[in-house]
Structure 1
Amino acid sequence: MTDPSPWWHPDRHADRRPALMARNRITAALRGHFSKRDFVEVEAVCLQVSPGNEAHLSAFATEILGADGVSRPLYLHTSPEFACKTLLAAGEHRIVSFSRVFRNRERGPLHHPEFTMLEWYRAGEDYTQLMRDCAEVLALSAEAAGTRVLTHRGREADPFAPVRRLTLAEAFSEVGIDLLATVAADGTTDRDAFAASVARAGLRVAEDDTWADLFSRVLVARIEPSLGLGRPTVLCEYPVSEAALARPSPSDPRVAERFELYACGVELANAFGELTDPAEQRRRFTLEMNEKERVYGERYPIDEAFLEALAIMPEASGIALGLDRLVMLCVGARHIEDVLWTPVTGGRP
């Protein structure tokens, strides 16, 4: 279906402008919030040797021409994460970044090829502090937008209510699957046992499905739609195989210090207790790129400078929050392009 007029048509812009002004108020309020808490705002360079090494993230590739005339490949980053962690290694303690990031193969009601990622990092602080941060960010954003409720496509959540904490094991148990029974102490997974559990739960299982494929299928089909209804939800303690950048939990090596924040069934943020072991990080990146090559026929380079910095990075926690999605929920927008000042041209899919 073709939009009745382009986003820049005066009548269309007039309809969009209240949401865009709310976006500005939210951004200003968040900047003030982090400044008052001694966070330093940083700017991460968009051009990177590696755009990130997660199997299912696709990047925009480009090149840089040196003074010698030789072309060398670079990528637009999919997150400022590598740059921010390098700044922690350099000696920063609390940093925040409002970064334009770029992800290819992603466009839809909740996805846009260029969007804004709000990331903040706390050196020497536990990742559970980020959960408390999320509660403050939600309440502050709602206040700035002038609303008492977050909404998305008929679903609601109270941004001022206590955030519910739910582990992945608990969430899978609610749909009849014993998730951690198929995860060993060293993090390896039992694909066949998991496939049998998924099939018993009534979901499709294909012969070439990996454990990770099945994990994602259950999460998307049975768990995510009910998260963050009524009040925001933190989904935590991911299996270590699903947390490539997070450190294992000291209380259970099968799970990692990772959580995601949901409201109105929408994923808003992804957080880690950061992995700081460069050898283990290289191993995980290699596994991710092997999977990327299997699925998509390509792989991205590993940023050697980042791994060098990781060796001296302090213990830290960090989180990436989709600012555009947060604005959507605060103003009740149905499509991400309704809260972008200048969407990428080409129309909605």
Structure 2
Amino acid sequence: MKEKSERLKKLQKLFKLQQFIRDFFLEREFIDVLTPPMVQNPGMETHIHPFQVRSPHNKENLELYLHTSPEFHMKELLSLGFSKIYNISYCFRDEPNSTHHRPQFLMLEWYRTQEFYTTIMKDTEDLFKYCCEKMLASGEEIKSELKNFSPMKKTVQEIFLEVLKIDILEYLEKDKLLALIRERFPQVPLPPEKDDHLLSWDDGYFLLFLNEVEPKLKEYPFIILYNFPHHLSALSTINKDDSRVCDRFEVYSFGIELCNSFNELTELDLLRERFNEQGRLKENLYQYKLPEPSEFYKTMKSLPTSSGIALGVERLLMSICDIENPFYY
């Protein structure tokens, strides 16, 4: 009975939070949209692994995947003329269970056309504050540090200077970054030097960030990190004022990464180049390849200037309320 009661309480919190998210976007005149969960291409990120759909009737794999994000189809809607849209749905990624991940999880994504990503940044601050206030007003207990919500912003350069006393933007060459890690941070688990040719700059960065910087972010109830080094641009634009960085931000709450936002890249040739590189890396590292995102390339031909974000709903619940395992499934 206790287990049943605890599950009920958790689901009440989760479903309340989903309703408050919808209320937030309704008040701001966003349209709640749906996208298909089975897609021709699930996303091109190197280290994100999709599930391929299999038919038990025909006993064969289909040329379809469960999406890792609704992004491609939401951008199709933007290309058709929608301007302010959001979506809450399950996404699927082939990763092991952890304290803040499951192979299927709730993702909130929203997009704005003709807006720079700083507007999405303000949306995110407002949404977090709105959900904290609504959860508290509904009778739910929230973490004490959030009762007087005060967002913080730092560039990635600033957080590295603060935590590690290094200027990460002075180490934008792979060999220089790896040498720094070996000299100053020997506890970071780099592979042997003879295998450096197998590593990218991103690998060195993430090993340093995840081992030495991210643990310090537990001290922050809500912090926006922005102006990521240009290597991490993914589908974001390069900053017009400083080409060393890209127009991307992430939010951490008590050390949990909540969301990832881009000022969306709309140059088809550059996007194709980045996808091809990610595809090569995926095949080299994981020995499989995904189909070319041909339908998405068609979308990109008419995608307007836009910005967007993806946010984990269960992670948001974990951040606001004192819940160790926020997942329904």
TM-score above 0.5: yes
Give the match's secondary structure for 1:257. Answer: strand
In structure 2, give the amino acid aligned to 1:83. Answer: H
Q: Alignment partner for residue 193 of structure 1, among 176, 196, 199?
A: 176
Give the 3 Å change call, closer, same or farther, for CA 81–64 of structure 1 in structure 2. farther
Rounded to whole Å, the distance in 1 between the matches of 2:114 and 2:145 is: 32
Tell me, yes or no, if structure 1 residue 182 matches structure 2 residue 165. Answer: no
CA deviations 1:280-331 (Å, max 9, x no partner) are: 1111011111111121111212211111111211101100000011112222
Structure 1 residue corresponding to 2:250, chosen from 228, 247, 260: 260
The aligned amino acid for 1:180 is: L
2:234 to 231, 244, 247: 244
Distance 1:289 1:173 in 2: 33
Which whole-Å deviations, capped at 9, do the CAs of 1:13-35 have from their partners, x for residues lacking one?
21122221121111111111101
* TM-score, with structure 2 as normaliser: 0.90
- Asked whether the 8 Å contact 1:270–1:320 carries over to 2, the reply is yes
| Matching residue of 1:107 | 97
Deviations 1:164-200 (A, max 9, x none): 11111122223133321233xxxxxx11111111223
Determine the structure 2 residue equivalent to 1:132: 122
- CA RMSD across the alignment: 2.1
- Count of residue pairs the alignment pairs up: 316
Shift of 1:78: 0.3
Report the AA paired with residue 89 of structure 1.
S
> Contact 2:220–2:252 at 8 Å: present in 1 too?
no
The residue aligned with 1:313 is 303
Q: Which residue number in structure 1 is paired with residue 293 of structure 2?
A: 303
In structure 1, C-alpha distance between the alignment counterparts of 2:167 and 2:180, rounded to whole Å: 8
SS of the aligned residue for 1:248 comes to coil
Q: How does 1:281-300 map to 2 (within 5 A)?
A: 281-300=271-290
Q: Which residue is 2:17 aligned to?
A: 26
Tell me, yes or no, if the aligned pair for 2:49 and 2:95 is still in contact at 8 Å.
yes
Deviation at 1:231, TM superposition (A): 3.2
Identity value in percent: 31
User: Counterpart of 2:276 in 1: which secondary structure?
Assistant: helix
Once residues 107 and 278 of structure 2 are traced to their aligned partners in structure 1, the CA distance between those partners, rounded to angstroms, is: 22
4+ residue stretches of structure 1 with deviation over 6 A?
none
Report the AA paired with residue 176 of structure 1.
K
Distance in 2 (alpha carbons) for counterparts of 1:277 and 1:157: 42
| Aligned ranges 1:148-187 → 2 under 5 Å | 149-150=142-143, 157-158=145-146, 160-174=148-162, 175-183=164-172
* Unmatched segments (≥5 aa) in structure 2: none
CA contact under 8 A between 2:223 and 2:251: conserved in structure 1?
yes
Establish whether residue 205 from structure 1 lines up as the match of residue 190 from structure 2: yes
Q: Secondary structure of the residue that 1:227 maps to in structure 2? A: helix
Bigger Cα displacement from structure 2, 285-294 vs 80-89: 285-294
Partner letter of residue 145 of structure 1? M
Letter in 2 for 1:57: I
Partners of 1:72 and 1:319 in 2: CA distance: 30
CA contact (8 A) 2:92 2:105 kept: yes
> What is the Cα deviation at residue 106 of structure 1?
3.1
1:81 to 64, 71, 78: 71
Structure 1 residue 139 displacement after superposition: 1.5
Counterpart amino acid of residue 170 in structure 1:
E
Tell me the amino acid that sits aligned with residue 21 of structure 2: L
Which segment is superposed worse, 289-298 or 219-228? 219-228
Alignment partners' CA distance in 2, 1:15 and 1:62: 33
Decide whether aligned partners of structure 1 residues 334 and 148 sit closer, same or farther in structure 2, where only a CA change above 3 A counts: closer
1:35 corresponds in structure 2 to 26
Stretch moving more, 167-176 or 74-83: 167-176
Q: TM-score, normalised by structure 1?
A: 0.85
Letter in 2 for 1:258: R
